[in-house]
Amino acid sequence: MSGSGGSIRVLNVAEKPSVAKSVATLLSGNQGQGLRVREGRSRYNKIYEFNYSINGRPCHMLVTSVTGHLMELEFEDRFRKWHACDPALLFTAPVHKKVPEDKLDIKRTLEEEARRCQWLVLWLDCDREGENIAFEVIEVCTAVNRHLTIRRARFSALTERDIYNAVQNLVNANKFFADAVDARQEIDLRIGASFTRFQTMLLRDAFVIDSTASDRNLVLSYGPCQFPTLGFVVERYWEIQSHEPEEFWTINCSHKSDEGTATFHWMRGHLFDYACAVVIYEMCVEEPTATVTKVRQQEKLKKPPNPLNTIQLEQRASIYFRMSSEHTMKVAEELYQAGFISYPRTETDGFSERTDLHAIVEEQQRHPGWGSYAQRLLDPASGLWKNPSNGGHDDKAHPPIHPTKFSSGESGWSQDHHRLYELVVRHFLACVSQPAVGAETTVEIDIAGELFSASGRVILAKNYLDVYRFESWGGSLLPTYEFGQQFVPTTLTLDSGVTRPPPLLSEADLLSCMDKEGIGTDATMHDHIKKLLDRFYATKDSSMRFSPTNLGEALVMGYDDMGYKLWKPYLRAVMERDMKAVSEGAKSKAEVLETCLQQMKACFLDARLNKVKLFEAMSVFFERSSRPSGDDQHTSGEFVRQCGLCHEADMVLRQNRDGNFMVGCLGYPQCRNAVWLPGSVSEAAVTTNVCNSCTPGPVYLIQFTFRRLEIPPNYSANHLGCIGGCDETLRQLTEICGTGSRLSARGRGPVTSNNNVPRSNTRQGPCIYCHQAGHSSGDCPSQSSGPRSVRPQSMNVQSARGRGPAMSNNVQQSNTRQGACIYCHQTGHSSGDCPSQSSGPQSARPRSMNVQSGQVSTSCSTCGAPCALRTANTIANRGRKFYSCQSQACNFFVWEDSLNNDNGGRGFQRANVSASASNPTRSGGSGRGGRGAGDAAGVSFVSATGDPVSGRRCFACGDPSHFANVCPNRGN
């Protein structure tokens, strides 16, 4: 559908409502007819209509806007919850762009208007970020009208001249720019989310962290630009802390005459050897006559500044006005949107030949403060004009920041608006001016062979300094000296001093470091600095200088102790160069994403393996918390498989405080699916091998190491096993040894167990501590609180880098009343320190296996060899008889009481339902006695020992023979 009279209907989209209003007002005032305003779906984004002519073609213009990015990059839903997956998976998890809920009205406006238009003209900011937003708008509009002609308006200031030139010279959108931003967004999202979740879940609950946020809302964020920025602050702080003052000595000389006083400085500077300095000084005192050896007079120039870019604007506003970079950009953006200055986000510091510099100066002649200087600039007779220098940076998008409209001060401006506008104007006038000229005199003298010098300066022509009041060119006038002249100094002294450390980084210094190392862009640097303050990683004092907080220093120290330079700028600088290559078309987005993410994933996995370094660094500054650590239940572990119960979160291998291993769902507490592993496991690690039997896959195999004394002699202490339900060895050892404790440490109360979690044997013998019945050893009232696995030790953490000793953490010792060791039955040591046990912390409930030979009464169903009758002596199955094959290759095992029940060598069959709890939907099983979900409805639920589990019913139909996840009536 065309506009009125056959004109082209053009949808114009700006980045902000204020820009849309300015564009519509300027174009309609130029040659437009009858500017009309109507409401869009969003009340903040109005639609302006008027008629216009583009290159002689009549157009009906509709101008509306977005509010920054229209879309957000996010993970798919199953990866968005913090405990839904292993953070390492976020490096490869699917991501997509989506219009968030609060911008759906803007999207609807664009769709409605695009359906009725032939052209789409994009008025987004002309940098990479603006180009990316442009392609978001294109995606929304072309989804409803794929026949749109798409054009791009390029402008740098909201002035009539710039807007008119932009609309009459439309160009194509730059896909390379948009791809560079897409790459940055995805890299930052994946790296930031993975490290942030890792840090926060690992440390937040483990330590009492003094911050402005509440404990539960505290986020220990990691950003690939934010962390190197913090690194600059911490590194300078460490440099100051490690500085050791050193005394030095220097010789000072002065000479007073009728023309004034000259101060001469020793050309050696200073000496650290006192005896040497004294000898030289005494030589000078003995022969004090000074001889002038050189008088040099020369003209010196002080050059005006280069044209203003974003970094220089932020630095100078910080130095001159003590304005933060974040606030500076906010004020500059408001001045730009009101049309008073050009686009404030630019790397360019050189004007092109096309820029009419004289026209910009002419607009400023009326100002009461600098108007007279502008008039002198335009007067050829003054000789004040000089074409500006070029700083060598050009982002190919915008010119340097300069004034675009005259103002002597608007009524709605704050003091900072006045200051920043004045800085932009005076800086522009200065950069088109001649340099200041001075006459500098240098005098050198000789006293007893030692050389001293003095210098003085007189300004001959201030030139640009007349308007650029923020800079000065100080200097004193020297008395007149002639070559060969001799005189006796008025004073000659030997003075001492001490070396001083460098100062803390100022905001201008920090911006310089970031710019030099390529951290962030001109449009984002101030955001990274603000993030440090918001996250309480650093503080800024009244002098605009930064110090790290304990939290910021601890995090950097932890990564530094690991040996990884994640807090250094090198990795991010490489990423920035790669993204620049994408914007230039030299590299593809996919190539950069693959390279960066592979590198950072390797760093992440290494950092997680060395997480103890983070704990040690945090312990230097913070006390350990009494709250359950995030490492107990919520922190991520090694990914094993996707949960077969909730089908949303992942199941990971974890170890609780008592040393017991389990594979649990990260969706806890919403999903309580867990597979508890045999209590005899001392070590477990997920491998890259995948089970070929269990589905749905992948199910990664786990390398187990068992405590030799807690398993029968015919089982290997090392086993590569699967928790999916097909592993007979793992199932048998679970039967023999029982599973690890699922109770929290004493005093915290029991953790509610899921129906699908295998249970320990409920038959109890006497307590191994007090030898009384009625309670388990884990709940023995005679024992001190806390897990038995804690070995007495004293931790004295020394602070790093010369900061002195930190607080000593004394771990409370276990009950000192000792009977015989439960392992070797000897006195003189506790079971936790028994030399007969393998190294490493023991389980909270000590176990030992004492197998006694018995008579042969059954044969192995695999090899036919006779099996010995043995007796289990574990806590879970003490006194229970079982048969097992001597050959480790057979893995044959059966309880004696199972044979009495006619189960014929398949006594472990009853454990299959619970052992496969993590995969209830599996069809069939490759192991002996395996059952699929389809058969589950025909059996009663049993525990890991084969004993019936009572009091459990399907919540869907009430049948006690099955759970709801395999209910045949589910969904009816």
Dist CA 889 CA 205 (whole Å)? 45
- Does residue 645 sit in helix, strand or coil? coil
Q: How many angstroms separate the Cα of 261 from the Cα of each of 265, 298, 455, 607, 841?
A: 13, 21, 12, 63, 78
Dist CA 195 CA 604 (whole Å)? 7
Return the H-helix or E-strand segment holding 882: strand 881-884
Pairing of strands 149-152, 290-302: unpaired
Dist CA 628 CA 631 (whole Å)? 8
The pair of structure tokens assigned to 130 is: 């603006």
Dist CA 144 CA 113 (whole Å)? 10
> What is the number of alpha carbons within 13 Å of residue 767 lying toward its C-beta?
15
Q: Is 69 within 8 Å of 16 (Cβ atoms)?
A: no
* 484 backbone φψ class: left, alpha, beta (φ>0; ψ -120 to 50): left
From the list 343, 468, 481, 769, the catalytic residue is 343
Pairing of strands 8-14, 119-123: parallel
Dist CA 909 CA 930 (whole Å)? 7
Q: Is 343 a catalytic residue?
A: yes
112-138 in b/e form (b: 16+ CB < 10 A) is: ebbeebbbbbbbbbbbbbbbbbbbbbb
- Does residue 754 sit in helix, strand or coil? coil
Q: Which residues contact 828 (CB under 8 A, 6 or more apart)?
A: 818
* 34 backbone φψ class: left, alpha, beta (φ>0; ψ -120 to 50): left
Read off the amino acid at residue 289.
Answer: T
Residue 670, number of CB atoms within 10 A of its CB: 12
Dist CA 114 CA 146 (whole Å)? 10
Q: How many angstroms separate the Cα of 263 from the Cα of each of 255, 268, 417, 653?
A: 7, 15, 44, 74
Return the H-helix or E-strand segment holding 870: strand 866-871
DSSP string, 510-567: HHHHHHHHT-S-TTTHHHHHHHHHHTTSEEE-TTSBEEE-HHHHHHHHHHHHHT--TT
Q: Which residue has the tokens 């994009």?
A: 122
Residue 57, number of CB atoms within 10 A of its CB: 11
List the one residue out of 346, 338, 312 whose CA is nearest residue 126. 346
Stated length of the chain = 972
Read off the amino acid at residue 681.
Answer: V
Which residues belong to the active site? 343
